[in-house]
């Protein structure tokens, strides 16, 4: 579960490389022990507990991150991911390929925050900001990191990363929007590509060295791995310092304008800078590494403040209750051993009362008070009928507490009113695995077409396929999950098993698709080798 992941990061040593874009080649690697995929992670046939591990998809009214391509339907199968962009004026196909390969390597070694209710929220926020960020035709991929410290990053090709700790740090939606808008600014200005033109022989090796340091530290090398990362990062910063200030100012400029155009108060970015500055002063001589590599100077704050004051704004968005609900989930996950601390932080920051009630319901459900928890969530759903994460949370709590039929009933009811809401579809499919595997297979096949880079979808799809008689497609789905999680060699071996099963069962459609994917997997591996 996510709570376990965050706890592992808390007791481990942390190596934070990038916050708010840092320098060109905006990669962030949050170091920590690898997590056993069999313990509550997608991929374990016996474990699909989705407390903080739902699936996510932006609302239909927004542009989904993974839906920039048309996915063909097949009679017995599903269409699967490509590393290539469909074309963007800002992001090249090669950048997309490198970014997706980097993401697979990242997933292989860094525990994710598997809470797609939160991911759904972040993807929606990214989609809301993209039209105003000088980006055209970009297919973004959002990765949530199981790390309780503040961090966010952007990687060439449209990869956006957010730590769970960012929700603990940002007090309102406009502040978290400022972080994401800044990251999108780095992508829109193509800072990675511009720096690569200057030093194209050093960028990929630097990214590879950062990953190597992460792997060493995660494997128990401790300071050796951290030193490798720190040394590489220090060299990059020194080499590119005279460029990074200009790049940060450009990202600030684009981010501030995007915020205003999307209806957020650009002053929130200044508030975030001030908060980071206070954090650095409280840390004394040993500030967090992300502040060492990404200095928040008074001149930068003043410059951003001057720009913000010059931006004309229309009607501003009211603070979002959805943000505070996601923040409650993040705080509970971070402080899972002391839920009172999560409650205290919400009180200290004057969160809306309904966010307190939501957090209390999550705490009650975990403590066995499922009836009280469901009553609270149902009341909140009635008060806020347009917030889809509320009835989805009720489905999740019912399922986590063994109320399978209640979960199915609640999920069906919500999806009639809010069709296409992926977190609830994911929960429905999980519940249906215990009652109607054929229907689970159909639901998950649809999700796989919608979210071709979501390993959690393919983990459940593999389970559903096995239980509903689609054996070859089940092995293919497991191979997709495995390659998305970065273990490309094991994924290719899984494809071999899938092909044998398809031949034995005379499933020609599956056999053709498996061969297509084998070629794609080998292309993926070639690209991923750049970071080894």
Which ranges constitute the DSSP H helices of 384-421?
389-400, 404-417
Looking at residue 442, what is its pLDDT? 97
Residues 6 or more apart whose Cβ sits within 8 Å of residue 526? none
Under 8 Å CB-to-CB from 33, ≥6 apart: which residues?
A: 8, 12, 111, 218, 220
Known binding residues for Zn(2+): 182, 186, 248
Classified as helix, coil or strand, 509 is helix
Helix (H) or strand (E) holding 291: helix 289-293
pTM here is 0.80
Interhelix angle 93-109/508-528, rounded to 10 degrees, is: 90
Neighbouring C-alpha atoms within 13 Å toward the C-beta of 431: 26
List the structure tokens of 366: 């975990």
Bridge partner residues of 310 (DSSP): none
Helix (H, G, I), strand (E, B) or coil at 307: helix
Residue written as tokens 């639901």? 443
pLDDT at 75: 38
CA distances from 192 to 21, 156, 198, 207, 298 (A): 10, 6, 10, 11, 25
Q: Tell me the CB-side half-sphere exposure of residue 247, using CA atoms within 13 A.
A: 27
- Residue 336 and residue 331: Cα distance in Å, rounded? 8
pLDDT at 161: 86
Using the structure block, give the residue that is written with the tokens 């194209």. Answer: 200
> Which residues are catalytically annotated?
183, 252
Token readout for 521 is 């997997």
DSSP characters over 222-260: THHHHHHHHHHHHHHHHHHHHHHHHHHHHHHHHHHHHHH
Distance CA(451)–CA(57), nearest Å, equals 8
Residue 270's pLDDT is 95
Tokens at residue 357, please? 């009630």
Beta-strand pair 141-145/152-155: unpaired
Where is 3: in which H helix or E strand?
helix 2-11
Token pair 């999980």 is found at: 430
Q: How far apart are CA 228 and CA 210, in angstroms?
A: 7
125 phi-psi bin (left φ>0, alpha ψ -120 to 50, beta other): alpha
Helix and strand tally (H, E) in the chain? 23, 3
Q: What Cα–Cα distance (Å) separates residue 85 from each residue in 65, 98, 370, 418, 424? A: 12, 11, 44, 29, 28
The low-confidence residues of the chain, meaning pLDDT below 70, are 1-92, 190-243, 283-295, 532
User: In sequence order, what are the beta bridge partners of 142?
Assistant: 160
Rounded alpha-carbon distances, angstroms, from residue 321 to 61, 119, 520: 18, 16, 42
Q: What pLDDT does residue 78 have?
A: 52
């Amino acid at each position: 579960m996510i709570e376990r992941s965050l706890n592992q990061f808390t007791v481990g040593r942390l190596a934070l490389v990038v916050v708010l874009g840092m320098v060109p080649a905006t990669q962030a690697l949050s170091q920590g022990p690898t997590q056993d995929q069999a313990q509550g992670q997608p991929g374990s046939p016996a474990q699909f507990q989705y407390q903080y591990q739902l699936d996510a998809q932006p609302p239909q009214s927004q542009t989904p991150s993974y839906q920039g391509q048309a996915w063909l339907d097949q009679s017995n199968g599903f269409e699967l991911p490509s590393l290539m962009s469909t074309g963007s004026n800002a992001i090249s196909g090669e950048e997309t390929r490198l970014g997706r390969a980097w993401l697979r390597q990242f997933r292989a070694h860094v525990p994710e925050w598997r809470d797609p209710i939160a991911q759904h929220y972040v993807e929606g926020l990214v989609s809301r900001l993209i039209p105003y960020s000088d980006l055209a035709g970009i297919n973004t991929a959002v990765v949530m990191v199981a790390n309780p410290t503040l961090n966010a990053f952007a990687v060439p090709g449209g990869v956006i990363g957010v730590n769970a700790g960012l929700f603990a740090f940002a007090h309102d939606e406009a502040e978290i929007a400022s972080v994401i808008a800044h990251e999108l600014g780095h992508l829109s200005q193509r800072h990675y590509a511009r720096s690569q033109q200057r030093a194209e022989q050093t960028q990929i090796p630097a990214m590879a060295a950062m990953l190597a340091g992460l792997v060493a530290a995660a494997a128990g090398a401790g300071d050796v791995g951290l030193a490798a990362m720190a040394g590489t990062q220090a060299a990059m910063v020194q080499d590119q310092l005279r460029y990074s200030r200009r790049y940060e100012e450009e990202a600030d400029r684009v981010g501030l304008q995007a915020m205003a155009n999307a209806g957020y108060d650009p002053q929130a970015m200044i508030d975030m800078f001030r908060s980071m500055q206070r954090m650095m002063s409280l840390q004394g001589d040993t500030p967090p590494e992300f502040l060492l590599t990404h200095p928040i100077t008074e001149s930068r704050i003043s410059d951003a403040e001057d720009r913000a004051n010059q931006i004309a704004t229309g009607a501003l968005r009211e603070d979002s209750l959805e943000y505070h609900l996601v923040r409650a989930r993040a705080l509970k996950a971070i402080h899972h051993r002391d839920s009172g601390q999560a409650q205290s932080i919400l009180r200290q920051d004057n969160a809306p009362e309904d966010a307190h009630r939501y957090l209390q319901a999550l705490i009650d459900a975990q403590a066995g008070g499922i009836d009280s928890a469901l009553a609270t969530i149902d009341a909140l759903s009635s008060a806020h009928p347009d917030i889809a994460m509320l009835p989805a949370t009720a489905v999740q709590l019912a399922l986590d507490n063994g109320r399978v039929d209640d979960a199915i009933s609640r999920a069906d009811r919500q999806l009639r009113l809010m069709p296409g809401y992926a977190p609830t579809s994911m929960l429905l499919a999980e519940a249906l695995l215990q009652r109607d595997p054929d229907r689970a297979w159909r639901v998950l096949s649809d999700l796989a077409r919608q979210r071709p880079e979501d390993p959690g979808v393919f983990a459940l799809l593999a389970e559903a396929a096995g239980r509903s008689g689609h054996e070859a497609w089940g092995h293919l789905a497991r191979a997709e999950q495995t390659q998305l999680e970065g273990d490309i060699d094991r994924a290719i071996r899984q494809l071999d098993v899938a092909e044998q099963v398809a031949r034995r069962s005379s499933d020609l459609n599956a056999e053709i698709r498996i061969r297509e994917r084998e070629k794609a997997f080998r292309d993926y591996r070639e690209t991923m080798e750049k970071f080894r």
